[in-house]
Amino acid sequence: MAESKRIIIVGIPGVGKTTVVSKVVELLKTKNIKVSVSIFGTVMFDEAKKRGVQNRDDLRKLSVKEQKELQSTAARAISSITDDVVIVDTHAFISTNEGFYPGLPHNVLEILNPDSFIMITARPEEIYNRRMTDTTRTRDIVSIDAIKKELDVTSAMLSTCSILCGSPIKMVLNTEGKVDEAARGIISAMGYNHGT
């Protein structure tokens, strides 16, 4: 049995990550490729609930030691999935009062052992407009300069992950109205011929 391909996909709010990942899953399924998506924060919260945490916002109130243990437990749960492709949907960083905390610390990377990293990106102006028009989410209002900083930090964090794992990183641009193109770019990076 071939091992699963583990693909970590990151993107800041407003790049259209959820939409692109959904399209990737849809295209892979048409090729009879068994694929699953694990949203890292959700898996982590599910593990935390077993320990009595009631609210996702309470995760941030746990000690760093407890958070690291939960991250490791969530990573082990994800690493046990045996589908052909396992997509890990996560964030490269979490913005805290202390600064940017890595969403993929070394202990998590060692457990997940990803085959590749994908950063979904978009033009800062598009991200800004998407955030301002998205009524389904509660988003912090930020400037285009702040969005550029978030993109830079994501790129730096993911580059470091790539170096630590010896796995490639690919930036995929999600231009407005071109979700299919972005999804095909990801599938190609996975080593699958995207076809038509």
Which residues sit in the known binding site? 11-19
Question: DSSP code of 97?
Answer: T
| Cα–Cα nearest to 60, from 91, 90, 96 | 96
What is the rounded CA–CA span in Å between residue 150 and residue 12?
7
Helix, strand or coil, per DSSP, at residue 27: helix
CA dihedral 135, 139, 140, 144 (to 10 degrees): -80
Q: Annotated binding site for ATP, which residues?
A: 11-19
* 169-173 vs 85-90, strand pairing mode: unpaired
| Contact predicate 17/120, CB 8 Å | yes
189 close to 118: Cβ distance less than 8 angstroms:
yes
Token pair belonging to 86:
């396992």
Tell which phi-psi region holds residue 14, choosing left (phi > 0), alpha (psi between -120 and 50) or beta.
left
